[in-house]
Chain A
């Protein structure tokens, strides 16, 4: 079976030889090609080449079309990105500096015609041509309730959300939801087949349960209803969300959950069961200081919990550059070893 077929089997419950194994290597791309970040991210061919080379080097299942998270802000007018040699690029210029800027914010009619989409499209075409038939191609899409943080900064967004004028807040959210809907359609059309829906406000670590129900849930429904939830992965930016999984399953019908390393994996698995796919996520920040043996032991522990009754995927967060290469190799080797189903 191809890695893509293995992923589909994990979702549907069809028999497969092993679990899907995801390793999210983004910041490693420039190093892989021996380039500075700015040069690497300026050309979609480089990003695609970096992804394909790293997949060959480590042997995991997935590749990414994501350059860096701030790319979405560029599609909405951000002109300045702060590059670093040892970590991810950051938004350095917020599009929204005052509440008046919300009215001026323009969602492009066709985001695929925007110059900031050109290199993403180039990257996706290469990935689709090279591995689209056999491997999962991931895309990263920020929910309407979280995108404002990229446009105005998280503290200003919290201020607007919790104490600001409701009409300004709602106008911004409507624009962000419209952007999400256009973006997800563009990624689907370009060949991405794993759509990571990044929704930290879909975790009660960000807002309380009441605000989750009254605020986050309706906006998530607005984001997701037009395009549907096919290939969507529920991800809260590494924040735990076990206590809302059932509600999300009932109301949004999402089937795939990327569980926080801070959450109880066994509890998540018990809630999701055979109704969807539980993605166990290793704490890759701890991996910076672990030995390969410690890494293997953690992969084994997670597989033992998650593989019961199948419907399980092993994954990472956004792997930090500081994780020793030996640990990445150890992690993936262990995931293949412990993630193989023993069938009679």
Chain B
């Protein structure tokens, strides 16, 4: 039975059909399935399946990324209300778009996936100064600082990831955090993330969440 639920849910996500995904989840709940199992056995594996699909499917697209994140986030939120015990949080990330940048789509995709993967997300919004990324990361004991930038000047400028790195260095707290970046400029130059002082990047928001989870574990292990 679980296999058929997973199959139906994955198909709904792949077709970007939120209503169908919720129908599957509600039917599973009605049949007696626990909310915890829906999140850990259906929703999280579906996000991971989508990560693999994006990598190998040339027709994977922004609409799928967006809906994967939306569906995963909304289903998880609804299921968390029904959990018997609060789930264990993997870690924390502060996320925002770089100073001067008002594009929020990429950030929203990453946030949706991270919530489903049990990462606590502190959303700093758009047009965020470099110092605020650092201040909030410290205040919230985050492991990862995620800086989104859709334009070349906000990706490479002193007020973006480069500035975050500089401030971490000046304060002597570089080792406590990892910096990740995302956005269109990094897709056109895959080495650009190193130039701006980031520890990682991903070509899409869904796979960015996997990288962030890996970096959280790396920081916690160090």
Shortest Cβ distance from residue A177 to the other chain B in the assembled complex, whole angstroms: 20
In whole angstroms, what is the CA distance A341 to B16 when docked? 49
Chain A: how many interface residues by the 8 Å CB criterion? 35
Beta-carbon contacts under 8 Å, B179-196 to A: 184-185, 187-189, 191-192, 195
Q: A158 near B66 (CB under 8 angstroms)?
A: yes
B100 contact set on A, CB distance < 8 A? 82, 84, 87, 90
Which chain A residues (223-261) contact chain B, with CB distance < 8 Å?
Answer: 238, 243, 261
Collect the chain B residues with CB atoms within 8 Å of residue A206's CB: 61-63
> B66 contacts A286, CB within 8 Å?
no
Q: A155-B108, A207-B62 are in contact. List 8 more A-B contacts (CB 8 A).
A: A86-B153, A87-B152, A153-B102, A153-B104, A208-B59, A211-B63, A243-B58, A285-B188
Verify if B154 is at the interface (C-beta below 8 Å from A): yes
Q: Mark B6-28, 1 if CB is under 8 A from A, else 0.
A: 00000000001010000000000
Partner pick for A286 among B70, B153, B189, CB 8 A cutoff: B189
Supposing A92-B102, A285-B185 touch, asked if A320 and B62 sit within 8 A by C-beta, the answer is no
CA–CA, A153 and B105, complex, Å: 8
Asked if A322 lies at the interface with its beta carbon under 8 angstroms from chain B, I say: yes
B115 within 8 A of A: no
A322 touches B188 (CB 8 A): no
Question: On chain B, which size bracket covers the interface?
Answer: 20 to 34
Q: Which A residues are CB-close (under 8 A) to B157?
A: 86-87
Task: Knowing A82-B102, A158-B66, A162-B16 are in contact, say whether A204-B185 is a contact too (CB < 8 A).
Answer: no
Cβ contact within 8 Å between A288 and B152? yes
Complex CA gap A322/B187 in Å reads 17
B102 (CB) vs chain A CBs: closest residue: A90
Q: In B22-76, which residues have CB < 8 Å from any A CB?
A: 58-59, 61-64, 66-67, 70
Q: Is A298 part of the contact surface with B, judged by Cβ < 8 Å?
A: no
CB distance from B222 to the nearest CB of A (A): 30
Find out whether the CB atom of A208 lies under 8 angstroms from the CB atom of B185: no
- Whether B103 is near chain A, meaning CB under 8 Å from some CB there, is yes
Chain A residues near B61 (CB-CB < 8 A):
204-208
- Contact in complex: A285, B63 (CB < 8 Å): no
Within 8 A of B (CB), among A75-93: 82, 84, 86-88, 90-92
A98: which B residues are within 8 A, CB to CB? none
Q: Is B219 an interface residue (CB 8 A)?
A: no
Contact between B188 and A286, CB atoms less than 8 A apart: yes
Q: How far is the CB of A137 from chain B (nearest CB, A)?
A: 25
* Contact among B18, B152, B154 for A163, CB-based, below 8 A: B18
Q: Report the Cα distance A159→B103, complex, angstroms.
A: 14
Is B207's beta carbon under 8 Å from chain A?
Answer: no
Instruction: Tell me, rounded to whole Å, the shortest Cβ–Cβ distance linking A53 to chain B.
Output: 22
B143 near A: Cβ within 8 Å? Answer: no
Give the residues in chain A near B105, CB-CB below 8 Å.
Answer: 153-155, 158
Chain A residues, Cβ within 8 Å of B67: 162-163
15 contacts between A and B (CB under 8 A): A86-B153, A87-B154, A90-B100, A92-B102, A153-B104, A153-B105, A154-B103, A163-B70, A243-B58, A262-B188, A285-B152, A285-B189, A285-B192, A288-B156, A322-B153
CB of A283 closer than 8 Å to a CB of B: yes
Measured CB to CB, the nearest residue on chain B to A84 is B100
Residues of A near B103 (CB, < 8 A) are 153-154
Whether A87 pairs with B151 at a CB distance below 8 angstroms is yes
**Nearest CB of chain B from residue A275's CB, rounded to whole Å:** 24
The 0/1 profile, CB within 8 Å of B marked 1, for residues 155-179 of chain A is 1001101110000000000000000
A8 within 8 A of B: no
Q: A162 contacts which chain B residues (CB < 8 A)?
A: 16, 18, 63, 66-67, 70
Chain B residues within an 8 Å CB radius of A116: none
- Nearest first, the 3 closest Cβ-Cβ pairs linking A and B are A87-B153, A320-B152, A285-B188
The 0/1 profile, CB within 8 Å of A marked 1, for residues 89-123 of chain B is 00000000000111111001000000000000000
Closest to A91 in B: B102
Measured between beta carbons, the chain B residues less than 8 angstroms from A288 are 152, 156, 189
Whether A111 sits at the interface, judged by CB under 8 Å, is: no
A321 to B154, CA, bound (A): 12
A289 at the interface (CB under 8 A from B): yes
Query: A289 near B195 (CB under 8 angstroms)?
Result: yes
* Residues of chain B within 8 A of A209, CB atoms compared: 59
Instruction: Report the nearest A residue to B100, measured CB to CB.
Output: A84
| A162 to B108 Cα, complex, angstroms | 15
CA distance A52 to B189 in the complex (A): 30
Compute how far the CA of A289 lies from the CA of B70 in the bound complex, rounded to whole angstroms.
Answer: 36
Q: Is the CB of A283 within 8 A of B188?
A: yes
B-contact 0/1 string along A259-281, CB 8 Å cutoff = 00110000000000000000000
Q: Which residues of B contact A158 (CB under 8 A)?
A: 62-63, 66, 105
Find A205's partner among B16, B62, B151, B188 (CB 8 Å cutoff): B62
Instruction: Report the separation of the CA atoms of residues A175 and B176 in the bound assembly, to the nearest whole angstrom.
Output: 50
- In the bound assembly, the distance between CA atoms of A286 and B157 in angstroms comes to 16
